[in-house]
Amino acid sequence: MIIHIDKNLEQKRVEELAVKHEAVYYKSAEKYVLITSSKMKSIPDELKSVAAEHFFLDSDIQLASRSYLKETRKIKIGNHYIGGDQKNTIIIAGPCAIESEKQIRESAALLKELDIIALRAGAYKPRTSPYTFQGLGKAGLELLDKIGDEYNLQIVTEVRDASQVDDVILHADIIQIGAKSMYDHGILRKCAKVRKPVILKRGFGASLQEFVQCAEFMLSGGNEQVILCERGIRTFETKTRFTLDLCGVAYLKEYTNLPIIVDPSHAIGWSYGVADLARAGMAMGVDGLLIEVHPDPKIAKSDASQQLNHDQFRALFKTLKPIAEAVGKHIV
């Protein structure tokens, strides 16, 4: 149950009630919001007496539920918004990993050429082998931050584990929580306290229910700027790296109030299909696309097979606009 607490109540009392009723709470713009387990199906008198409003939800998808908030949450990115009534779709692009200043400058220049506002690149790579490139780490973060300032780009970069979350929070404009870290409470709790947008990528073995419940960790901790990203789930099919779950995207659009972006690059893992899948996402009217593009994919230190080169990306970008128009969206 979600309870909007009466504005006159002091935090100390909210805290007491939360402890007593095994609830969590946070302070929204003007009020305290207290959330109990969804299994609580009637409101105790003590809570009723301090409730301005209350909402029963079917499952522990509560703050993220469209039954709670009808409209998609509106989130500011640079000078633009996604969600709300804006009909915007943001393009976020860039290389898998930060490899050099030259590479990042070329990526930034490509984005400026196309009026794209958000640059993605990873400093900490969640590799599964200890014997492969692990990312430039903090030096990479600082470089990215510098280039972002210089080119006036929003920086999107990934936190791999809770030991670097503070550094990423400091340097990123938009924090990305990677698929392998989706369940990481250390990261989720830190990101709950930040006033920056967070892109939460779906774990490739995570159900939609778990995915949105991880977003709930941040929402219920006070960060209302959570964006969901579908990037492919692991299935029996091995011809492609993962299986992009657009049925899942349809579900999330229908039942949650969070903006949704689609990452075709990690889903298929091969550049040949990225453009088609990006167009599919656009035709579904998603709030954003996250696409890997590299000045020279053949020499990329990670994800070489799936990154578009600059010309391929330009060609794709050109085809997205008419589809956006066909479904009433604007590309930012």
Q: List, in order, residues 6 or more apart from 166 with CB less than 8 Å away.
A: 190
Find the shortest distance in angstroms from Cβ 122 to a copy of itself: 13
Specify the stretch interacting with a copy of itself by CB under 8 A; choose among 7-15, 90-98, 115-123, 244-252.
244-252
Q: Which of residues 77-96 bind a copy of itself (CB under 8 A)?
A: none
3-state secondary structure 73-123: CCEEECCEEECCCCCEEEEEEECCECCCHHHHHHHHHHHHHCCCCEEECEC
Is the Cβ of residue 11 or residue 235 nearer to a copy of itself in the bound state? 235
Q: Which of residues 200-239 bind a copy of itself (CB under 8 A)?
A: 203-210, 213-214, 216-217, 220-221, 232-239
Find the shortest distance in angstroms from Cβ 62 to a copy of itself: 7
Q: Which of 23, 194, 227, 289 binds a copy of itself (CB under 8 A)?
A: 23
**Environment class of residue 256 by beta-carbon count within 10 Å: exposed (0-12), middle (13-18) or buried (19+)?**
buried
Find the shortest distance in angstroms from Cβ 322 to a copy of itself: 4
Q: Are 118 and 101 a contacting pair, CB within 8 Å?
A: no
Q: Are 292 and 50 a contacting pair, CB within 8 Å?
A: no
Find the shortest distance in angstroms from Cβ 151 to a copy of itself: 30
Q: Which of 108, 156, 277, 308 binds a copy of itself (CB under 8 A)?
A: 277
Is the Cβ of residue 22 or residue 311 nearer to a copy of itself in the bound state? 22
Q: Count CB-CB contacts under 10 A for residue 130.
A: 6
Cα-Cα end-to-end distance for the chain: 36
Q: Report residue 288: phi and psi, to 5°.
A: -170, 160
Distance CA 256, CA 108 (A): 33
Specify the stretch interacting with a copy of itself by CB under 8 A; choose among 46-54, 111-119, 141-149, 268-276.
268-276
Binding of residue 305 to a copy of itself (CB under 8 A): no
Q: Of 230, 226, 203, 202, nearest to 215 (Cα)?
A: 226
Find the shortest distance in angstroms from Cβ 305 to a copy of itself: 13
Q: Which of 71, 149, 150, 276 binds a copy of itself (CB under 8 A)?
A: 276
Is the Cβ of residue 82 or residue 187 nearer to a copy of itself in the bound state? 187
DSSP-derived 3-state class of residue 259: coil
Is the Cβ of residue 122 or residue 148 nearer to a copy of itself in the bound state? 122
Find the shortest distance in angstroms from Cβ 126 to a copy of itself: 6
Site map 150..189 versus a copy of itself, x via CB under 8 A: ----------xxxxx---------------xx-xxxxx-x
According to DSSP, the residues that pair with 32 across neighbouring strands are: 27
